Amino acid sequence: MTRRRNSVEVNEIFSLRRAQLADAAAIARVHVASWQAAYRGIISDADLARFDVAGRAAAWRRVLGPSANASVWLALEDDLVVGFSEVRGGEVTVLYLHPGWWRLGLGHALLKRAFADIAAAGWREAFLWVLVANEAARAFYGAQGGVAGDSRPVKVGDNRLVEVRYAWKLPVAPH
């Protein structure tokens, strides 16, 4: 596999690289597939059906556009986008993998990359919010050393749910 500038090797098959505007549609496809698998039974089928690739691609074009203030990394198998993460400030705002690539170590690699960006920006703590009902994600974040803390209500479509905050203390970045 050819490695690009701004790319990080995960193993011989997978790599991470920074997202570019041209990646918006690929990110959207992974986002929708992940949501529909991870949130089935948590979010109503009607709301999951409204979460579509075209709408997500438009949203990702805004995130990746010229006024972007987020750090977005992709997990790739060869040149196929199979996962992504987004960081804003000290928060991992999203981390999703296509369901066919769950439990292969890519979530760990994306989370580690997100933490590196957060630490490099001077933050001493990283955090994210996850739905309480998403037991698989909560188990993953706990296994990654995340500590569950505060909770808050959230409305997703017509669904009233609760999120819990996971936090990690970060090592101080060398100067």
* 160 vs 44: CA distance, rounded Å: 10
- Provide the mean pLDDT of the chain: 91
Whether 1 is covered by a domain: the verdict is no
Residue 115 in domain: yes
Whether 12 shows a pLDDT value over 80: the answer reads: no
Q: Average pLDDT for residues 48-61, to the nearest whole number?
A: 95
pLDDT class of 173 with cuts at 50, 70, 90: low
In a domain, 175, yes or no: no
Domain count, the chain: 1
Confidence of residue 27 (pLDDT cuts 50, 70, 90): very high
| Predicted confidence (pLDDT) per residue in 114-126, tens digit | 999 999 999 999 9
The domain spanning residue 128 has which CATH number? 3.40.630.30
pLDDT higher than threshold 60 for residue 2: no
| 2 domain residue, yes or no | no
Q: Does the pTM of the predicted model rise above 0.85?
A: yes
Mean pLDDT of 35-57: 95
Domain limits at 88? 7-169
Gap between the Cα atoms of 27 and 83, Å rounded: 7
pLDDT tens digits for range 85-133: 999 999 999 999 999 999 999 999 999 999 999 999 999 999 999 999 9
- In which band, very low, low, confident or very high, does the pLDDT at 68 lie, cut at 50, 70 and 90? confident
